[in-house]
Structure 1
Amino acid sequence: MTRHPITVALVEDNPAVRQRFQASIENQPELIWMGAAGSVDEGKKLLLETCPRVLLVDLGLPDGSGLEVIQEAARSCPATEVLVISMFGDEGHVIQAIEAGASGYLLKDSEDASLVEHIVQVVDGGSPMSPMIARHLLKKMQQDAGLGKPEPEIALTKRELQLLKLLARGYTYREVAEDLSVSSHTVNSHIKNLYRKLSVKTKNEAVFAATRHGLLDMRNLD
């Protein structure tokens, strides 16, 4: 099946980085460059004008935080996948970005050659992350699990549990549909119900929340 071109926009205040990313994206026929912005205000304007399929966002902007742009994307362009590309790799920034609605988080020292791969991955339902970022999230999950706070009981269907395990194993939504022999529409319906029950917005949040609630054992995903 032929893939529709993926529209991509960037919010980044460093001209050299903007030029580098633009060149990488324009060099790929499956991607369409929608433009770049250098501030929070410009980023929101670009977002609302284009609603790209993927929005690359830096967190450190001259007039505020890229988190504001991510939150605007969640409100105004829900079909837009946000991929953070930042020099900030500490746990605080990572957690805030994920909670705001980011689907992936990469550090700026990531290879440019992998940028296209990460963009395609996030469109296919993946959550690309730099190894250090994944480590921060795992640490956060372990800390939350060790607090011993009582969690409200959540009931998931057998199909939702199957889907959750596949997501935890790194499957994309398309691969989930193939594995379960159902349509993409059915998978999306299950995803929406799963996210609603777990009170989350992204795949990573769903996996962490399910683990915290005792619904998912990361050591046994078979």
Structure 2
Amino acid sequence: MNIQSRTEIGQEIIRVMLVDDDDRIQQALRLAIETHPELHLVGQAYTLREAMAVVNELQPEVVLVDLGLPDGSGLELIAHIHQHMPGCESMVLTVFGDESHVISSIEAGATGYLTKDTRTADILDRLKQLRAGGSPISPVIARRLLNRFRGVSTPDQLPTSKATVNHAFTPLSEREQQVLEMVAKGFMQAEIADLLGVSINTISTYVKRIYKKLAVNSRTSAVHRANALGLINLKDC
């Protein structure tokens, strides 16, 4: 584990952790992040065991994780983050571009999915996009998913896991409902934070809770699920 430190003054810095057994990729991303004014590298891990041992202590806001780690699958780390770290998001960076790995990652809790042929500069941009409320995904992966789901009219009709189908809805709090309505209207997390006078980390926590209660893993699915449950009316958004 190699933990970096950098003074964070004058602007909100995104805390990033790297989990990958490829030293070449680790070093390239490390150098790029260290020179980026809006990103701060809090730690690096090369194995699943190493990452699981320190991720809670490091408290990253985004974990960039490979799926094929030498001692296990990155899916285990993604699931841990999704279940126990509501202020943190996972973005996959992997050589796997098949539907099975993509869907498994999303179901585990990943909110972004990039292949390793993505340029370093673009990866850093996607990290910022993720924290702003987006769900970045490599174009080739997006095309494959579109082809898979072509002909399906709405996101809530997409194939779901048994956990999602059997999910018992937990009512949203008043503030969660407020955030959900703003998400449905297209506001990004940073905009919602500004309008409500709270930090983006607070909004990210609310969004994570909303996703968990609705048993979804994306903004679009959350909106359609909420509409189906009668929590919002898309005609009013």
TM-score normalised according to structure 1 size = 0.75
Q: Which string of whole-angstrom CA distances, capped at 9 and with x for unpartnered residues, describes residues 175-217 of structure 1?
A: 3567xx555589679746753563224425425646888999x
Q: CA contact under 8 A between 2:111 and 2:130: conserved in structure 1?
A: yes
Question: 1:93-172 to 2 correspondence within 5 Å?
Answer: 93-138=101-146, 139-140=148-149, 142=152, 145=157, 162-167=181-186, 171-172=187-188
For 1:43 and 1:53, locate their aligned partners in 2 and report how far apart those are by CA, in whole Å.
14
SS at match of 1:98: helix
Structure 2 stretches of 5 or more lacking a match? 1-9, 160-164
Q: CA deviation at 1:22?
A: 0.7
Aligned in 2, Cα 1:17/1:161: closer, same or farther, shift over 3 Å?
Answer: closer
Q: Does 1:49 find its partner at 2:57?
A: yes
Q: Does 1:203 find its partner at 2:215?
A: no
Q: Which string of whole-angstrom CA distances, capped at 9 and with x for unpartnered residues, describes residues 42-82 of structure 1?
A: 11123123121111000011111100111121233221111
Q: CA deviation at 1:28?
A: 1.0
For 1:31 and 1:18, locate their aligned partners in 2 and report how far apart those are by CA, in whole Å.
15
Cα RMSD after superposing both structures: 3.9
Q: Which of 4, 13, 32 is 2:40 aligned to?
A: 32
Structure 1 stretches of 5 or more lacking a match? none
Q: CA contact under 8 A between 1:165 and 1:221: conserved in structure 2?
A: no
TM-score normalised according to structure 2 size = 0.70
Give the % identical residues. Answer: 38
Aligned in 2, Cα 1:140/1:60: closer, same or farther, shift over 3 Å?
Answer: farther
Q: CA deviation at 1:94?
A: 0.9
Runs of 4+ in structure 1 off by over 4 angstroms are 154-162, 181-194, 207-216
Q: CA contact under 8 A between 2:86 and 2:208: conserved in structure 1?
A: no
